[in-house]
Chain A
Amino acid sequence: MSASIILETRGLCKTFGAVTAAKDLHVTIAPGEVVGVIGSNGAGKTTFINMVTGYLEPSSGEILFNGKSIVGTVPRAITRMGLARSFQVAQLFPELSVLDNLIIALAAAESPRPSFFRPLRTRAREARADAILEEFRLTAFRDARVTAVPQGARKLVDIAMALIGEPKMLLLDEPTSGVSVDEKNALMDTVMAAVRHHGTTVLFVEHDMDVVRRYVSRILAFYSGEIIADGTPDHVLADAKVRELVTGHAADGHSARKGASA
């Protein structure tokens, strides 16, 4: 059974005081799937990712990664098990260069206990970082400090750092938020190409339905801490409840925009 399910949550709940951010979430994801998560702000998408990656402890419920319970496991251990994530706001080392950010990630992937004496920046790591920069089309920003790099590039660095550990599964929290409309598809193309290359299972939170449709084979729709629909994009996006509560009038707006871009 665990061979066909990479991530499973059973009855996952989370409350913050009086607010319910997750209510009885049952999710199963098979290896290699690309799953989109949609839902308005405050629907509990980020809470879901935070619980699965160990940043938040669920109030109740079970999380299984490759058949093993990971509730109560710290984020770093979950990362080492092969479950990585990116962040809504890119989590980088702002005063360091893009290259150094990647080199730190490379070294971290090699060993959980860094050396006290051997230099972190080695030829080999530098070469690998350069290859990653090329893959993500970030070479132009190689030696720039993160603070001097545009949003879209920061998001890419963030995702690249998550991928460096060659995770079995990657959770992307709004990879295109804060990125300009024309950059969105380019960014997602780059990311998805890298992901396919490694055969990584992907779950990503996204507001832009065009982006969702383009990449996913399955959608989870969140509303008020619950999953109100789960299935193929066509099925979920046509769902009356989803149209009413999540996408709103997006059904019309969506086709209008599609017409405009065609």
Chain B
Amino acid sequence: MQSLFAVFIDGAIYASWLFLVAAGLTVIYGVMRILNMAHGSFYAIGAYSAASMIGWYFADGSGNAWVSFLLLIVCALAAGLVVGTIIERGLLRYMYGRDEILMVIITYALLLILEDVMKIVWGVSPYFAYQPYTALGRVSMMGLKMSTYDLMLIGVAIVVGGALYAWLERTTLGKILRAVIHDREVASAMGVNVAKMFTITFLVGATLGTLAGALTAPAISVVPGIGVEVIVLAFAVVVVGGLGSIEGAAAGALLVGLCRAAAVHYAPEFELFVIYGVMSLVLAVRPQGLFGRTLARKI
């Protein structure tokens, strides 16, 4: 019973993290039809900026855990907006309208470039930002000791998911975006400024990426290559859920998260590939993913 509870909690924590990582990817794909490989870089940039910021804030050995948590978020927003703007305005907008698979390769090139940019800016030695993580301490539930920070991650994921959903479903801007998702050409013909919508979407997506990285930074050591590892996980989650769907990303994250937690507890040798195993299984049964739609070609 206790181990089942542990699987559930671990799964929920991991799923929250996966959702945060995947949300930006799916938003960008949904609106722009770009499967953004550089999303991993946004994650890493978020983690690096947050780690630098936390390091600076705690430099004199003292600081408030909640303030530092707030700093993480501010830092993520700033990094996401700056990097997102540079990439979208400076490069991607010239590439719009190209083949989907070519966009994958273009963003792969971006990922390669950003990997080295980060090495130049932050060097190759690891950064640590454990203070918020340790300062928040642990709580005990059903005989399990859990990190408060990890549990908070679940809350953050729910808030982010809810906010995204409300944004797309309840606001005017969201409705316009959904029109673009549904049919870009018709939306454009009806006077929607698609280019502007793309910019907004990309910034939101990039910021979600940096946010995920910033929130993860206290729990890991920030080293080169973390973005490269994360991006394939995010892909798996998004593909399981159905490309471009927020609900799908949530469902995909939950499914993958729980499966991995179960594997970690009961069959650790499967831990690493259970994610891709789930992905392959889901796609074998439902090629469009859990929440994806299929469109037949008109002839």
Residue ranges of A at the interface with B (Cβ–Cβ < 8 Å): 46, 50, 55, 87-89, 91
Contact = CB atoms under 8 A, between A and B. Distances in A.
Contacts of B141: none
A132 B175 CA distance: 53
Nearest to A50: B299
7 contacts: A46-B299, A50-B299, A55-B299, A87-B299, A88-B299, A89-B299, A91-B299
B296 to A, nearest CB: 8
Contacts of A89: 299
Contacts of A88: 299
A171 to B, nearest CB: 12
A55 B297 CA distance: 10
B39 to A, nearest CB: 32
Chain B's interface: helix, strand, loop or mixed, by majority?
A: loop
Contacts of A91: 299
Interface in B257-299: 299
Nearest to B299: A87
A55 B299 CA distance: 9
A87 B299 CA distance: 7
Interface in B177-214: none
Nearest to A89: B299
A87 B297 CA distance: 13
A50 B299 CA distance: 9
Q: Give 7 nearest A-B pairs by CB, closest first.
A: A87-B299, A91-B299, A55-B299, A89-B299, A50-B299, A88-B299, A46-B299
Contacts of A55: 299
Contacts of A50: 299
Contacts of A87: 299
Nearest to A173: B299
Contacts of B299: 46, 50, 55, 87-89, 91
A50 B296 CA distance: 12
Interface string B7-31: 0000000000000000000000000
A166 to B, nearest CB: 23
A88 B299 CA distance: 7
A150 to B, nearest CB: 21
A250 B164 CA distance: 54
A89 B299 CA distance: 7
A91 B299 CA distance: 8
B97 to A, nearest CB: 17
A50 to B, nearest CB: 7
A88 B297 CA distance: 13
A49 to B, nearest CB: 9
A199 B299 CA distance: 27
Contacts of A46: 299
A92 to B, nearest CB: 12
B102 to A, nearest CB: 15
Interface in B34-72: none
A46 B299 CA distance: 8
A54 to B, nearest CB: 12
A161 to B, nearest CB: 14
